[in-house]
Homo-oligomer: A and B are copies of this chain.
Amino acid sequence: MGISERKERDKQEMRKKIIDAAMHMFTHDGYEEASIRKIAEKIEYSPATIYLYYKDKDQLLYDVQAECFSKLVEVFKKEATSEDPLKRLEEICFSYVRFGLTYPEIYDLMFIMRSPMNNMEDKDIWKNADDAFGCLAGSIKECMDKGLIRFNDLWLASLSIWAMGHGLVSLNISCRMKVLNMDDCQIQDSIYVSVKNYLELLRK
């Protein structure tokens, strides 16, 4: 029995290697550079080898995405530590936004790109975001339980707060904030201020 376990472990290690390479390329060269061939080249395997571990590119991206999400959760764990629920919610939101602005290409894969979501069947469940979303929702729930914010519905609250954060980050990533005619500094400021404002509005 040890054998099959080891094999599985080996397989996981290889997958990890692939994903790490892919993430590195995403982060540093942009998602356009992350072709199967280039990923394979980076880990010094042949493209065909990738297909031993992943059915197709979408499945690979799905796993890369998972890795990205666990990175985000780490960030949450590290940066959102306050006891005060409201404070912690703010920390989470700021962490989220900072993460997005710091790693735009990865953020793209996590929250913007169609791949690998658009080739999932509707029935397929998307587990990658669960933990990270759980962090947010958990923090919000605490606020609600203690009557600190103006929301009755946890899902609605989570969705709204997420949407605000994502809206700001993604408009920036896709350069649509050009319409505001601000320089980069002002834009960054406005993003954080917008988040802060919103959370203050929510406070009872």
A interface residues with partner B (beta carbon < 8 Å): 111-114, 117-118, 120, 125-126, 129-130, 133, 150-151, 155-156, 158-160, 162-168, 170-171, 174-182, 190-191, 193-194, 197-198, 201-202
- Mostly, the A contact residues are helix
How far is the CB of A202 from the nearest CB of chain B, in Å? Answer: 7
For A111, give its contact among B150, B159, B174 (CB under 8 Å).
B174
A172: nearest residue on chain B (CB-CB)?
B163
Copies in the complex: 4
Q: Is the CB of B175 within 8 A of A120?
A: yes
How far is the CB of A100 from the nearest CB of chain B, in Å? Answer: 12
Q: Is the CB of B117 within 8 A of A179?
A: no
A-B contact pairs, 17 of them (CB 8 A): A112-B112, A117-B178, A120-B175, A126-B178, A129-B178, A129-B179, A133-B179, A150-B201, A151-B197, A159-B168, A159-B180, A163-B167, A163-B168, A164-B164, A166-B171, A170-B170, A201-B202
